[in-house]
Amino acid sequence: MSEAHLVPEIREIRAQIDKMHKGGQLKKAVELCQSALKVDPTNPELHIRLGDLYLEWHLDIHQPKQYIDEAITEYQRALESNLDSPLIYYKLGTAFYHKGELDKAINYFKLCIENDSKMFNAHFMLARTLTKKANYSESISPLEKAIKYGGLKSSRAHYLMYLLLNNKTEKNFRTKIKAGFHFLLFILTLIFDRESKKEFFNKLSYIQFLPLFIRGYYLEKTRNIYRAIDLYSQAIEETPRFLPLYILLGDVYRSIGKVSDAINEYKMALWLDSTSVTAYKSLCSIYEEQSDYDNAIEMYKKLIELNPNDAVYYSNLANLLYLKGKFDAAISAYQTAVTLNPNKKWTSVIAQTLGYIFQESKENFDAAISAYQNASLLNPEDIDTYISLGSAFYDKGDYNNALIVYRTALEIDPNNARIHCNLGYLLWGKGLINEAIKEYELAIKLDPSYDIAYNNLGVIYLDDLGYIQKSIDMFQQAIKHNPNYALAHYNVGRAMAIKGNNIEAARVFQIALDLNSYTNELDDNEIKSRIDNLFD
């Protein structure tokens, strides 16, 4: 059969495909398109048409199978016959967007724009993809071009611009007016924008699930959990590609402790949409609850890939890395969180945490001091920062600067018991015993339940002044307010041993040893050595 005879036949087949598609016979349209390609396997328009059908099939929430790879394959075959087609690049970008491979999507949208700089839908989808990656500032330029070239067909672009402006952390009056203006244009141009109308009515169709959501919520609140599970499971059977159902079912399983079932549902949500932030967050949370830090770390890394400018994700990742003992990686993540600085008070807390790791885990006192000073600049009223900074100077052996920091803190909050206690410890270290006692007594006066102040004052009475009974009284006050204070029990044992009451000393040392297995305040061997020495 000659090509001349094939052309009308292909045209007729295309018409039949369109007719089937409009009639809702998507599967038959796909099969007919496949048959047509057997006759004309290099026809780019047929490959594009089949790719479109696969993509639509993939996005249908009522069918269980994914067809996104098939759509991409057809678009790529079409591209082989026309390497300069902006339309094919656009369709490939859209397919990769729905697959969740956002970097590839961005690349194809840029290739499309290189071949047709005025294709407004490509500019819009580039902006949408950048927004999904949380690159909000980068998305503004393509969005403005989408509005410029789209004219009356830029309803989607106006709405996205409205969202970006409205979600700015710092909005002035002009920004609010501009956001409102774009929202108005979104409404006015909706009727002219075919893609916008399609998306609008598609989202409107989700109202059908509202009764199900209400019923499910009621069943959960009335503790009819298994009926809620049945409800969501049945809904998933009917609409297996509707992602929110998997999240809801996962949440219900999680509420009754069925952790593995919950994880499976969240993973199913990610199978449907690998960019679902809600699913990743749920997995992060459930893995943390199970102390499965390795998987939680992997989930936070995925979230960071999607939202590289979200400081909270870096902070949470750093917390987990610290718990795993990966201090250098934790420091790096904390530093990134501080650099992003979404909020001065929040960032101040992160800087303090960073300082703590430098001080306690790395013993890098200069780095700790720098981090605490940064925290103080971000939030000058936070007393905890001064306490930590003073402690870092003390550990470094820089007692004069530690004293200056504590004095500065007392100017801000003169009745803070913790500062007076730390100042007492510093003065004691400098050999100023009487001044140290005054600070500890003032700390106790300000906070009569301050166990550490009682214990430290008791140590001065015991080791520096030899007031054994007064020291015991202080240690017992510390134990009264904190019965699990292993160090205070240990110090009572020391005092009893000095008094010659070895049996009581041994009893108290044993209590300290038992408590220390939980609190890890002391070296177990030191306590055991004390017990052994009592009866040598």
- The CATH code of the domain that includes 368 is 1.25.40.10
Residue 471: other Cβ atoms inside 10 A: 25
pLDDT tens by residue, 80-101:
988 889 999 999 999 999 998 9
Instruction: Collect all residues with Cβ–Cβ distance below 8 Å to 75 and sequence separation of at least 6.
Output: 47, 48, 51, 88, 91, 92, 95
Structural domain harbouring 71: 3-116
Backbone phi, then psi, for 133, in 5-degree steps?
A: -85, 5
- Looking at the structure, tell me whether residues 418 and 290 fall in a common domain: yes
> Does residue 32 lie within any of the structural domains?
yes
Burial of 372 (0-12, 13-18, 19+ CB in 10 A): buried
pLDDT over threshold 60, residue 5 = no
End-to-end CA separation in angstroms for the chain: 110
Give the tens place of pLDDT for each residue, 317-366. 999 999 999 999 999 999 999 998 778 898 999 999 999 999 988 889 99
Predicted local distance difference test score (pLDDT) of residue 3:
42
Strands (E), 400-451: none
8 Å CB contact between 203 and 179: no
Count: domains in the chain: 2
Which tokens belong to 154? 């830029």
Residue 415, in any domain of the structure: yes
Q: Which of 37-46, 173-182, 277-286, 521-530 shows the lowest mean pLDDT across its residues? A: 37-46
Do 436 and 295 lie in one domain? The reply is yes
Among residues 437, 452, 467, which one ends one of the domains?
A: 452
In-domain check, residue 229 = yes
Domain presence at residue 171: no
Does 228 lie in the same domain as 87? no
With a cut of 90, say whether residue 536 has pLDDT above it. Answer: no
d(CA 181, CA 189): 12
Specify whether 320 is located in the same domain as 219: yes
Using 50, 70 and 90 to split pLDDT, how confident is the model at 169? low
Number of helices and strands (H, E) in the chain? 30, 0
1 pLDDT above the threshold of 60? no
pLDDT of residue 523: 94
CB 323 within 8 A of CB 293: yes
What are the tens digits of pLDDT across the range 456-492? 999 999 999 999 999 999 999 999 999 999 999 999 9
In a domain? residue 187? no
Q: What is the pLDDT of residue 7?
A: 54
Residues 417-458 have pLDDT tens digits of 999 999 999 999 999 999 999 999 999 999 999 999 999 999
Please give the pLDDT value at position 41. Answer: 87
Residues 130-140 have a mean pLDDT of 89
pLDDT of 215 higher than 90: yes
Residues 112 and 212 in one domain: no
In 3-state terms, what secondary structure has residue 504? helix
Residue 536 in 3-state DSSP? coil
> What whole-number distance in Å separates Cα of residue 443 and Cα of residue 449?
10
The rounded mean pLDDT for the chain is 91
Average pLDDT over residues 166-190: 87
Specify if 381 maps to a domain: yes
Cα Rg of the chain, angstroms: 34
- The answer on 108 and 229 residing in a single domain is no
Residue 525 lies in a domain: no
Nearest Cα neighbor of 122 from 100, 155, 89 is 89
Whole-angstrom CA distances from 270 to 234, 235, 247 are: 20, 18, 10
The answer as to whether 80 is a domain residue is: yes
When pLDDT is cut at 50, 70 and 90, the band that residue 4 belongs to is very low
Position 44, amino acid:
P
Contact 86, 102 (CB under 8 A): no
Which of 62, 96, 116 is at the close of a domain? 116
Determine the angle formed by the axes of helices 293-306 and 311-323, rounding to 10 degrees: 160
One domain for residues 99 and 229: no
Mean pLDDT of 369-379: 92
Q: Is the pLDDT of residue 2 over 50?
A: no
Residues 380 and 235 occupy one common structural domain: yes
Q: What is the pLDDT of residue 474?
A: 98
pLDDT at 112: 96
Report the share of the chain in percent with pLDDT over 70.
Answer: 97
Residues 428 and 318 both lie in one domain? yes
- Greater confidence (175 vs 494) lies with 494
Q: What is the pLDDT of residue 16?
A: 82
Q: Are residues 254 and 110 in the same domain?
A: no
* Cα–Cα distance, 57 to 20 (Å, whole number): 13
Q: Which of 116, 131, 147 is the last residue of a domain?
A: 116
pLDDT surpasses 70 at 251: yes
